[in-house]
């Protein structure tokens, strides 16, 4: 083929960008250009021309650049955004990167320049890493789309809060109880809906999540309703409280008292919980049940034909995923000291799901990276309070379009004949189910 | 801690709008019936968008509820713009609002499909849903940032009402807004049923629904058909948005989420993929919700609606008028 004869792509690209800008104008002019404001008692309109112009100009320039580069006519499209070779390299580095990341997480509180703010952020990120790893069982391994995961998180949090308030149970007693209760809820909610598949399952789990939130919101005498539950006790260090007195943590270990001790303890607590979750999930993957999950994800009909009990397989996935959410929930309650239904809205479920999917479903390392990027990014953009959710939504769409299988999407088999070979997720054809 | 936009005290579906008085002589049953039918019409119109898209593409257009919200905002903006340029004759203004808002919202629907769903066609099955959730979050916050987070109260545009069957206090009051909503819904239903059953576009849609590959082989422009389906769904959602605005007299950026989930419930209840099913499902959900509010508790009406979704999916997965899904290997 001769390349010299090809006409310049510029006029076509320009025309296309112009049309796109016109559409953007049609979209932006009424919504962005005319703002409804309340003048006195009546509603009026306030024109905002500059931002419409900026939005349209951005769309025009962006589209033009894209037309001339990525969407240039005649450009050969690659099958995967990252070649299998790089992907293998990535997963190999991930093997060394993961222990390095854990080591970094362990020494983080004692690094110079790390203050209370950084440790708090670390706790937040680790909470979401743990939730992501828990949801990874359901979504990543078993391939069941759960849009109501936050409900189990709420069950865990309220279990601890209510048990501690009404019966004076300690955190260490409530932690397993909260996990068990959440797992029970997982089975209870999971059992009737397991015949459903794909999108239907997603919408039903969403409905369950909303029902639990609405009940927490309206069951005033039991849950405190919208006012929530406050004064949730903090955990002790194996019976030693973090306080100033002679039997406090600082005095027992001969340290000078500092409020930071408790924060650092909380940090290690969630780090340990998250690592336990990770260990569990990795080990579970190698068990028959874990292989059944992955088989179920790839093709449910084939799975059933081969005699896998799909009901039990799905239920265990639901229950175990819910259990880890319950643990994370009781940690959340004790860290915050106050919980209300506001912390368990659908947006949280969407956030956790986004972490799992963007990280590459089934990849433990990818989930951790995605949690760090998203929660860290959220905190980074704190000044742009209003805009960050817009960016969040947009990033979700863009990553899906760019890499539908997530950031780290290699599939490495848990059983192999001679050599363990990871393959890119984009090459895996997914069956019905 | 992350602060995400969430629960605030807001007027919501199912509660009678503040402008409407319920005469005590009517009791509870008849106003609930009238409110339920009105509300059900709005749900039904949104549900059609879900059901058509699911029928053809096989995905839940999660952002559809937010397209409805954008439609309500656009109706408000166009209405205010018309008032400010001097068109105050209400029927004319409303007619213009209807068409302009339909066109603009349709543009939104088209863009959402083009940006977030078309590149993912043929991708793995969770990808479009995740992308749709992203789009929904985007649209919600886009409206919040551009139009502000506060309620936008519009004084009642259409006032007055009629009393029907006034035999010694056994009548029922129906406001003009309710009459308009129900009549408009019926008209749109007839029009869309005709489009789907009689026109080339409708034939193409039904062909895509049965077998997309085969339809493409036979010369149906599948991409165009799917785009037009989104356009139709968005246009109907915009009408629903206008009705919501007229009925409740208030919009904010959050109305799309709950309305979307309930309209999806309606689509599932009626049998996904079926137009009359969506309408019947919408009416049923509207009635269940208003009767639940009237006889039991307003707080748990959403719980009632969501429970219906779960119960229907468990016992009647193909809905009232839907075809059972056939499993193919």
Identify the residue with better confidence: A417 or B249: B249
Residue predicted with more confidence, A249 or A393 = A393
Instruction: Give yes or no for B326 touching A (CB within 8 A).
Output: no
B59 → closest Cβ in A31, A199, A393:
A199
SS3 A47: strand
Q: What local confidence, expressed as pLDDT, does residue A271 receive?
A: 93
Using CB atoms within 10 Å of the CB of residue A226, give its burial: 0 to 12 exposed, 13 to 18 middle, 19+ buried.
Answer: middle
Taking the C-alpha atoms of residue B115 and residue A185, their distance in angstroms, rounded to an integer, is: 38
Dist. CA A52–CA A46, nearest whole Å: 13
Instruction: Judge whether residue A4 has pLDDT over 70.
Output: no
DSSP A140: I
CB B12 within 8 A of CB B262: no
Mutate to test the interface with B, among A376, A400, A405 (most CBs of B within 10 A): A400
Cβ distance A317 to A137 under 8 Å? yes
Interface test with A, best of B64, B122, B129 (most A CBs within 10 A): B129
* Interface probe, candidates B72, B313, B326, chain A, greatest A C-beta count within 10 A: B313
Taking every pair of Cα atoms in chain B, the longest distance, rounded to a whole number of angstroms, is: 66
Say what the pLDDT of residue B21 is. 45
Beta bridge mates, A274: none
Which of A34, A203, A218 is nearest residue B300 as measured by Cβ atoms? A218
CA distance A163 to A255: 32
Looking at the partner chain, which of B131, B145, B303 has a beta carbon nearest the beta carbon of A386? B145
Residue closest to B308 by CA, chosen among B273, B262, B276: B262
Cβ separation of B306 and A32 shorter than 8 Å?
no
β-bridge mates for residue A410, sequence order: A424
* Residues from chain A contacting residue B260 (CB–CB below 8 Å): none
What is the pLDDT averaged over residues A407-423?
62
Separation between Cα atoms, residue A129 and residue A31, nearest integer Å: 37
**pLDDT band at residue B7 under the 50/70/90 scheme:** very low
- Given an 8 Å threshold on Cβ–Cβ distance, is A345 in contact with B73? no
Give B-chain residues touching A215 at CB under 8 angstroms: 303
Say if CB A325 and CB A128 are below 8 A apart.
no
pLDDT digits (tens, 9 = 90+) for A290-330: 889 888 888 888 888 888 888 888 899 999 999 999 999 99
Tell me if B7 and A342 make a contact (CB, 8 A cut-off). Answer: yes
**B226, B81, B100, B28: which is closest to A43 by C-alpha?**
B81
Q: Kindly report, residue by residue over A178-199, the tens digit of the pLDDT.
A: 999 999 999 988 887 777 766 7
Chain A touched by B147 (CB under 8 Å):
yes
Judged against a pLDDT cut of 80, whether residue A419 lies above it is answered with no
Which range has the top average pLDDT, A48-62, A115-129, A199-213, B63-77?
B63-77
In angstroms, the Cα distances linking B4 to A349, A388, B146 are 12, 10, 17
Smallest Cα distance from B267 to chain A, Å: 12
Of the candidates A116, A124, A180, A428, the one whose C-alpha atom is nearest the C-alpha of residue A297 is: A428
Residue A341: closest CA among chain B residues belongs to which residue?
Answer: B7
| Rounded-to-integer distance, Cα B112 and Cα B233, Å | 12
B159-191 pLDDT, tens digit per residue, is 777 777 665 556 677 888 888 899 999 999 999
Residues 247 to 266 of B: which have CB under 8 A from any A CB? 257, 261, 264-265
Task: Return the pLDDT at A414.
Answer: 61
pLDDT for the residue numbered B22? 45
Which chain A residues are Cβ-neighbours of B131 within 8 angstroms? Answer: 396-397, 400-401
Q: What is the ipTM of this complex?
A: 0.83
Residues of B in contact with A214 (CB under 8 A): 299-300, 302-303, 306
Helices (H), A3-135: 10-28, 49-68, 84-107, 116-135
Of the candidates A23, A218, A301, the beta carbon closest to that of B107 is on: A23
CA distance from start to end of chain B: 46
Residues of A in contact with B120 (CB under 8 A): 400-401, 404
> What pLDDT is recorded for position A426?
54
Distance CA B280, CA B285 (A): 9
Q: Does the structure show a pLDDT above 50 at A431?
A: no
With a CB-CB cutoff of 8 Å, which residues 166-225 of chain B face chain A?
none
Task: Kindly provide the residue ranges of all beta strands, DSSP E only, lying in B67-203, ordered along the sequence.
Answer: 152-153, 161-164, 172-175
As a three-state string, the secondary structure of A251-305 is: HHCCCCCCCHHHHHHHHHHHHHHHHHHHHHHHHHHHCHHHHHHHHHHHCHHHHHH
Phi, psi of A362 (to 5 degrees): 95, -15
CA distance B230 to chain A (A): 16
Nearest-by-Cβ selection for B147 from A36, A211, A354: A36
Q: What is the pTM of this model?
A: 0.85
State residue A432's pLDDT score: 41
Could you give the dihedral angle defined by the CA atoms of residues A11, A17, A18 and A22, in that order, rounded to the nearest 10 degrees?
160
Closest chain B residue by Cα to residue A299: B329
Domain ranges of chain B: 45-150+178-255
Per-residue pLDDT at A5: 54
**Mean pLDDT across chain B, nearest whole number?**
83
Tell me the three state secondary structure of residue B170. Answer: coil
Contact yes or no for A167/A337 (Cβ under 8 A): no
Contact B2 A400 (CB under 8 A): no
Question: What confidence tier does B47 reach under pLDDT thresholds 50, 70, 90?
Answer: very high
Contacts of A196 in chain B (CB under 8 A): 313-314, 317
CA torsion angle A144 A148 A152 A158 (round to 10): 180
Q: What pLDDT does residue B326 have?
A: 60
Indicate if the pLDDT at residue B2 is higher than 70: no
**Nearest C-alpha neighbor of B68 from the set B50, B91, B87, B94:** B50
Residues of A in contact with B262 (CB under 8 A): none
Q: Is pLDDT at B23 greater than 60 in this prediction? A: no
Which of B5, B143, B302 minimises the CB distance to A214?
B302
pLDDT value at residue B84: 85
Question: What band does B8 get if pLDDT is binned at 50, 70 and 90?
Answer: very low
CB atoms within 10 A of CB A167: 9
Give the model's confidence band at B4: pLDDT under 50 very low, under 70 low, under 90 confident, else very high: very low
Shortest Cα distance, chain A CAs vs residue B126, angstroms: 8
Residue of B nearest to A338 (CA): B1
Residue B126 to residue A386, Cβ atoms within 8 A: no
Characterise B296 by phi-psi region: left (phi > 0), alpha (psi -120 to 50), beta (else): alpha
> In B, which residues are within 8 Å of A202 by CB distance?
60, 129
Q: Are the Cβ atoms of A396 and B134 closer than 8 angstroms?
A: yes
Q: How many CB atoms lie within 10 A of CB A204?
A: 24
Give pLDDT tens digits for A72-93: 666 655 555 556 677 677 667 7
Work out the end-to-end distance of chain A between its first and last CA atoms, rounded to an integer number of angstroms: 44
* Cβ–Cβ gap B2/A42 under 8 Å: no
Average pLDDT taken over every residue of chain A = 82
- B287 exposed, middle or buried (CB, 10 Å; 0-12, 13-18, 19+)? middle
What span, in angstroms and rounded, lies between the C-alpha atoms of B325 and B329? Answer: 13
Four-CA torsion A281, A286, A287, A291, nearest 10 degrees? 100
User: Cβ contact (<8 Å) for A400 and B5?
Assistant: no
> Are the Cβ atoms of A389 and B119 closer than 8 angstroms?
no
Contacts of B76 in chain A (CB under 8 A): 36, 43
CA distance A52 to A45: 15
Is pLDDT at B13 greater than 80 in this prediction?
no
B142 CA to chain A: closest CA distance, Å?
6
B293 vs B155, higher pLDDT: B293
Residues 6+ apart with CB under 8 A from B67: B49, B105, B108, B109, B112, B139, B233, B234, B237, B238, B256
| Gap from A97 CA to chain B (nearest CA, Å) | 28
A340 against B1, higher pLDDT: A340
Say yes or no to pLDDT of A155 above 90. yes
3-state helix, strand, coil in chain B (%, to 5): 70, 5, 30
CA distances (Å), origin A378, targets A351, A358, B1, B103? 11, 15, 10, 35
| Whether the predicted pLDDT of B129 surpasses 90 | no
The domains of chain A are located at: 10-68, 94-427
Of B98 and A12, which is predicted with more confidence?
B98
Kindly list the residues from chain A whose CB atom is less than 8 angstroms away from the CB atom of residue B75.
Answer: none
Q: B318 versus B70: which is more confidently predicted?
A: B70
- In 3D, which of A58, A91, A232, A220 has the Cα closest to residue A156? A232
- Residues in chain A with CB shorter than 8 Å from the CB of B242 are none
CA dist A229 → A169, A224, A226, A356 (Å): 15, 6, 9, 30
Chain mean position to CA A227: 26
Residue A199: alpha-carbon gap to chain centroid: 19
Residue range B77-100, pLDDT digits in tens: 999 888 888 877 888 888 999 999
B contact residues 293-322, partner A, Cβ 8 Å cutoff: 297, 299-300, 302-303, 306-307, 309-310, 313-314, 317
Contacts of A397 in chain B (CB under 8 A): 115-116, 131, 134-135, 138
Closest CA to A279 of A137, A176, A180: A137
Token representation of residue A89: 């390299």
């Amino acid at each position: 083929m001769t390349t010299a004869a090809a006409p310049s792509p510029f006029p076509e690209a320009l025309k296309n960008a112009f049309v796109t800008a016109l559409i953007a104008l049609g979209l932006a002019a009424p919504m962005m250009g005319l703002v409804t404001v309340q003048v006195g008692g009546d509603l009026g309109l306030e024109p905002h021309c500059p931002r419409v112009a900026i939005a349209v100009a951005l769309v025009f320039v962006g589209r033009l650049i894209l037309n001339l580069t990525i969407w240039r006519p005649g450009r050969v499209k690659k099958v995967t955004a990252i070649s299998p070779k790089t992907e293998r390299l990535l997963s190999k580095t991930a093997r060394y990167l993961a222990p390095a990341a854990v080591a970094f997480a362990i020494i983080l509180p004692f690094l110079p320049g790390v203050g209370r703010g950084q440790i708090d952020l670390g706790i937040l990120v680790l909470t979401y890493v743990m939730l992501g790893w828990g949801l990874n069982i359901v979504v990543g391994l078993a391939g069941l789309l759960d849009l109501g995961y936050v409900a189990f998180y709420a069950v865990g949090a309220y279990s601890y809060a209510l048990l501690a308030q009404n019966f004076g149970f300690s955190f260490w007693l409530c932690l397993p109880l909260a996990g068990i209760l959440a797992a029970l809820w997982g089975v209870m909610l999971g059992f009737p809906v397991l015949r459903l598949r794909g999108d239907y399952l997603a919408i039903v789990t969403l409905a369950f999540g909303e029902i639990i939130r609405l009940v927490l919101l309206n069951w005033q005498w039991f849950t405190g309703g919208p006012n929530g539950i406050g004064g949730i006790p903090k955990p002790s260090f194996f019976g030693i409280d973090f306080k100033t007195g002679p039997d406090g943590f600082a005095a027992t270990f001969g340290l000078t008292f500092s409020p930071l001790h408790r924060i650092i303890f909380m940090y290690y607590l969630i780090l340990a919980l998250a690592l336990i979750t990770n260990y569990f999930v990795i080990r579970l993957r190698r068990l028959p049940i874990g292989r059944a999950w992955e088989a179920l994800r790839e093709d449910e009909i084939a799975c059933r034909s081969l005699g896998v009990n799909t009901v039990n397989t799905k239920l265990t996935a639901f229950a175990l995923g819910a259990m880890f959410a319950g643990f994370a929930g009781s940690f959340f309650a004790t860290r915050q000291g106050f919980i209300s239904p506001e912390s368990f809205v659908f947006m949280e479920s969407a956030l956790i799901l986004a972490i799992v999917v963007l990280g590459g479903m089934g990849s433990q390392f990818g989930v951790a990276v995605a949690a760090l990027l998203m929660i860290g990014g959220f905190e980074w953009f704190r000044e742009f309070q209003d805009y960050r959710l817009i960016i969040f939504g947009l990033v979700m769409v863009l990553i899906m379009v760019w890499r539908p299988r997530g950031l780290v999407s290699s599939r490495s088999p848990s059983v192999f004949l001679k050599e363990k070979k990871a393959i890119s997720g984009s090459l895996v054809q997914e069956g019905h189910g | 801690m992350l602060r995400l936009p969430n629960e605030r005290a807001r007027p919501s579906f199912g509660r009678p709008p503040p402008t409407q008085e319920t005469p005590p002589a009517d009791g509870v049953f008849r106003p609930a019936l009238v409110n339920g039918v009105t509300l059900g019409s709005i749900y039904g119109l949104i549900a059609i968008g879900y059901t058509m898209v699911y029928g053809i593409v096989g995905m839940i257009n999660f952002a559809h509820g937010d397209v409805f919200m954008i439609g309500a905002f656009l109706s408000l903006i166009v209405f205010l713009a018309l008032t400010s340029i001097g068109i105050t004759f209400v029927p004319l203004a409303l007619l213009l609002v209807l068409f302009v808002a339909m066109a603009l919202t349709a543009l939104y629907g088209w863009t959402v499909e083009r940006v977030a769903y078309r590149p993912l066609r043929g991708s793995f099955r969770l990808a479009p849903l995740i992308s749709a959730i992203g789009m929904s979050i985007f649209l919600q916050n886009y409206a919040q940032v551009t139009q502000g987070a506060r309620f936008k109260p519009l004084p009642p545009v259409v006032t007055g009402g009629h009393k029907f069957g006034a035999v010694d206090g056994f009548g029922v009051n129906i406001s003009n807004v309710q009459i308009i909503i129900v009549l408009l819904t019926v008209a749109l239903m007839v029009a869309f049923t005709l489009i789907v059953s009689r026109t080339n576009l409708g034939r193409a849609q039904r062909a895509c629904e049965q077998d997309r590959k085969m339809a493409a082989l036979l010369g149906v422009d599948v991409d165009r058909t799917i785009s037009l389906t989104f356009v139709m769904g968005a246009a109907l959602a915009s009408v629903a948005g206008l009705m919501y605005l007229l009925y409740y007299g208030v919009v904010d950026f959050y109305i799309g989420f709950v309305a979307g989930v309930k309209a999806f419930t309606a689509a599932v209840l009626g049998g996904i993929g079926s137009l009359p099913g969506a309408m019947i499902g919408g009416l049923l959900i509207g009635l269940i919700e208003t009767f639940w509010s009237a006889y039991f508790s307003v707080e748990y009406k959403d719980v009632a609606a969501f429970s219906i979704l779960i119960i229907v999916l468990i016992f009647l997965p193909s809905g009232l008028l839907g075809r059972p899904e056939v499993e193919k290997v």
